[in-house]
Structure 1
Amino acid sequence: MSATAIPRRVAALLLAGSVAACASADAPGEIMVVVQTDMSVPKDIDWLRVEVMSGDEVRFHEEYDLADPTQGLKLPSTLALVAGADAAQPAMIRVTAWQGSWPRVVREVATTVPGDRVAMLRLPVQWLCSEERAHGEAAMHNCEPGKTCINGECVTVAPVAPESLDDYAPERVFGGNASPAHGRCFDVTECFKRSEPRAVDLGTCTLTAEDAVNIALSTETDGICGPSGCFVALDAESALGWQWADEPAGKRRLPKAACDRILGGESLAFAAAAITDACPLKTASLPVCGTWSSVGSPGAPPGTSEPVVVAAMQHRPFSLAADSERIYWTNLGSEDRADGELRSVPKGGGSRITLASALANPRDVALGGGAIFWTEGGLGEGRVQRLDLPASGGLPTMLASEQGVLEGLVSREGEVFFTSWDGGTVSRIPNVPAEPDVLASQQGHPYRIVADKEYLYWTNQGRTSQGGQDDAATGAIMVLRRGAAEPKPLATGLVKPNYLALDLGENENDTAIAVYWTSIVHSGDVMRLSLKDGERVGDPQKIATGQNFPNGIAVDSARVYWTSRNDGTVKWLLKAATPHDKPTVLAECGCQAGALLVDAENVFWLNEGGSDSTGSVLRIAKR
């Protein structure tokens, strides 16, 4: 017989060698293999390979796109294995989940098909079995031959006795309903939006909670990400999630592999969320929600109507840059030791990579000329470093050192320009190690710096105040034409000007037509100054007043966006706005909102967090 489309089934396979697409009262028994995941599609995995072997013969081999939300395979899905002439012949089923060319999870099981019923065999693609990144077919097994990964541990692939399997019931796959469209899914984002971290005895890998809760692993970038972090929800009362311990009451056994990873230093934690109507008990029969889900309505992609975390659990993220595909940021790390980092993640989310570590308080980051540059301002190092992209394990190149407390930098046409906050200088260095050339000195705490094709612009934060009061109005916006001997002030008498952004108009290769900046104080301002060929046109204009420590700032073709550090908001106004115009609140993160940038579709910003790893990188769609 020829195959016909079966909703929610990957394929129908007759182990004797032909293909079946229907069943009757006289049909042989079946095993319905259920493939589902606790990860996010296509962020974590974007295609599947399904293979069925009987002896040395490959009976089925197919690949399925998960990335296309309209045409791709939806999860959970089922694979029907139908008994053939030799019902005792075992089958080996292998599901490999890929992220691009990276075979991220491999799951195998051996079984035989019962002769008189339809049995159910769950074959979950678990995050705990996610392999370290590797490329190529040679790296596709995350366990040694003869073993497979279950709940993060490699176990022997022992045949599963068909009599141990439950009868197949579609409502146990599709959220309580035989029709996936009418089933219910588990909304990880909504459920764990108000979750709390829970202490775990890592030695015994147990958690004690007398209240009724759902439990999840809190990760940096993997799993289902929402406004409060990224989570891998654990199935309740399951060998593939958490189980009740014998005693005392409320004690739960958690996956040992997760505790081992935490003990090994991985950024991972356990979170608990109260069970409510909106957050029912998570079970294997309640698959996670998502645009990729075959259950329920797909909903909007993450980051559409509320912020989505792109990277969580970061140690004081501070500066931000982006190219067409990736976000880059620095983690300051500790004040008293060199444990800062330079990291990167795809714009749409995904696996985080560390480009450089053991950095001394890395302050600003910039891209240019096929490389990434950053300043370091801690431990008296005062360094400027370069790393060529794409990074492939190479070491950074030190361009300059012992330059004081460095802050801002910008890369332009083969040169890097940087500011020394305590030294009061703005300097230039080529993209290779050399002695810096001081372009401006006796500046009042120069902070951030930007450039167009002819001019450098920077903020002088001016004299700092005592006793926590707003800084004195001694700050300035400065400009220096490249090749000129001295900088000129564009605006003076400012109160702690902070980040600044240039409006290049319709021609990004032209000189700026305006500069915008924030004043990072209580009841601070967002300001605009029109420019022509590096000269001010008119007086500085306040376009937003009374902002709560306005911080990062960026412009696009129509709007100016900024963060407010103390109320955790992202707002925007039209570039020609006046103080009479009310800013639009694009996002509220309840965080210490910091550096910000925009591309054609999204706004990205940093939650600077506290002294521990509570910072994050966030994204929201423009609207």
Structure 2
Amino acid sequence: MQENLSSIALDSGHVYWTAYNSGKVEKLPLEGGSPITLSTETVYPTYLAIDSVNAYWIEPGLGNVKNVPLAGGRTSILTDMQGGSRGLTVDAGSLYWFRSSILMKMPVGGGAATEITAASTSPSRITVHAGSLYWGSRDAIFRFESGAAAPVLIVDGQDNPNYISVDEANIYWGNWGGDSVMKTPIDDNAPVVLAHGIQYPSHVVVDGTNLYFVEQSERDTLFRVPIGGGDVVELAQATTRINGLAVGDKDVYWVDNDGIVARLAK
């Protein structure tokens, strides 16, 4: 069976990924080398997130949230049987994910999983920035701040904005159901098109200067566009589906359906 690398994360020294078919969580030094297996005690892992201590992921079919130390060690189940779980992220003290359309939270060290709020129609991925949570739904993007009673609508009139990235000034996304890559000021509903004519834009990642994203097709293609607008540049074409994208200080990394971890200079 061909390996399927399903998600990716970076820190200052390593790239991490989940291997969906073989049920592994692995890492590799950023400059290359031999993979190091962190966990084999998982079933169809995906939605990888890391902090300074652990790697976390979801087993979608079982609804389990698991972790393993980045340095290696015991794999732990933090919560189990959370049916419909997807879209994991982590901040300094908590994990967040969706259970169906409910936003869930639990301490990074384990404990009770609590329901924070009802999210929206069909949320799938979630990101955290400066203490706030952001996600897309069928036609809109929302923000949820700690202690709030409900999420705030940021922008609407979109087409499946599933892949979101956030910096200090803007929210960026790809309209997966359309053909555009967009941004809007972080506190304003004023969308601007950064790229158009992009088939199924996905895996949107910002680095402070540029926005990187993937066009999904028979052979997925990686692009870059300045966050202030400008020329859209094709960087690379994969041989298959890209399943995760991460941007470091010097390089762009991605994983794909052929079991490849790729690196390209920015």
1:525 aligned partner: 180
Q: How far 1:373 moved relative to its partner?
A: 1.0
Q: 1:488 Cα deviation (Å)?
A: 1.3
Structure with more helix by fraction: 1
Match of 1:386 in 2: 67
Aligned counterparts of 1:407 and 1:555: Cα–Cα separation in 2: 22
Q: Superposed, which structure 2 residues align to 1:497-536 within 5 Å?
A: 497-504=161-168, 513-521=169-177, 524-531=179-186, 536=187
Q: State the shift of 1:520 in Å.
A: 2.2
Contact 1:563 1:595 in 2 (8 A): no
Distance (whole Å) between structure 2 residues aligned to residue 442 and residue 482 of structure 1: 14
Query: Are 1:326 and 2:14 an aligned pair?
Result: yes
Match of 2:191 in 1: 540
In structure 2, list runs of 5 or more residues that go unmatched.
none
Partner residue in 1 for 2:221: 569
Matched, 1:592 2:236: no
CA contact (8 A) 2:155 2:189 kept: no
> For each residue in 1:335-354, what CA deviation from the matched residue of structure 2 results, as whole angstroms up to 9, or x when unmatched?
xxxx4221111112211122
Answering whether residue 245 of structure 2 is matched by residue 605 of structure 1, we say no
2:121 partner letter: G
Structure 1 residue 582, shift from structure 2 partner:
3.5
**Matched AA of 1:484:** A
CA shift, 1:575, in A, is: 0.2
1:43-54 equivalence runs, <5 A = none
Counting matched residue pairs gives 265
Deviations 1:162-202 (A, max 9, x none): xxxxxxxxxxxxxxxxxxxxxxxxxxxxxxxxxxxxxxxxx
AA in 1 matched with 2:200:
F
- Residues 1:372 and 2:55 are matched in the alignment: yes
Corresponding residue for 2:149?
485
Question: Separation in 2 of the partners of 1:314 and 1:478?
Answer: 37
| Matched AA of 1:592 | R
Match runs of 1:53-202 below 5 Å:
none
Which position in structure 1 is the counterpart of 2:29? 346
Residues 314, 451 of structure 1: alpha-carbon distance in 2 compared, 3 angstrom cutoff: farther
Structure 1 moving runs of 4+ over 4 Å: none
Residue from 158, 170, 174 that aligns with 1:494:
158
Which of 128, 131, 154 is the aligned partner of 1:454? 131
CA contact (8 A) 1:363 1:406 kept: no
Q: Give the aligned residue type for 2:199.
A: N
Larger Rg: 1
| Superposition RMSD in Å | 1.8
Whether the aligned pair in 1 keeps the contact of 2:245 and 2:252 (CA below 8 Å) is yes
Q: Output the CA distance in 2 between the equivalents of 1:484 and 1:546.
A: 37
Deviations 1:106-136 (A, max 9, x none): xxxxxxxxxxxxxxxxxxxxxxxxxxxxxxx
Aligned AA (2:136): T
Q: Which has the higher strand share?
A: 2
Give the structure-1-normalised TM-score: 0.41
Which residue in the other structure is 1:619 paired with?
Answer: 263
Indicate if the aligned counterparts of 2:101 and 2:123 stay in contact, CA closer than 8 A. yes
User: Gaps spanning 5+ residues in structure 1: where?
Assistant: 1-312, 334-338, 463-474, 505-512
Task: Tell me, in whole angstroms, the C-alpha distance in 1 between the residues paired with 2:238 and 2:52.
Answer: 34
Aligned to 1:239: none
**Does the 8 A contact of 2:165 with 2:172 survive in 1?**
yes
d(CA) in 1 for partners of 2:173, 2:119: 22
Q: Residue 437 of structure 1 aligns to which amino acid in structure 2?
A: T
Give the Cα separation in 1 of the matches to 2:216 and 2:262.
14
1:427 Cα shift? Answer: 0.8
| Aligned partners of 1:501 and 1:553 also within 8 Å | yes
Per-residue CA deviations over 1:538-575 (Å, capped at 9, x if unaligned) read: 41222111112211111112110111121421111110
Residue 121 of structure 2 corresponds to: 444
The equivalent of 1:198 in structure 2 is none
Instruction: Tell me by how many angstroms 1:617 deviates.
Output: 1.4
1:538–1:493 CA distance, 2 compared to 1 (3 A): closer
3-state DSSP class of the match of 2:140?
Answer: strand
Give per-residue Cα distances to partners, 1:341-378, cap 9 Å, x unaligned. 21111112211122112423222111114111111101
Higher relative contact order (CA 8 A, sep 6+): 2
Amino acid at match of 1:387: V
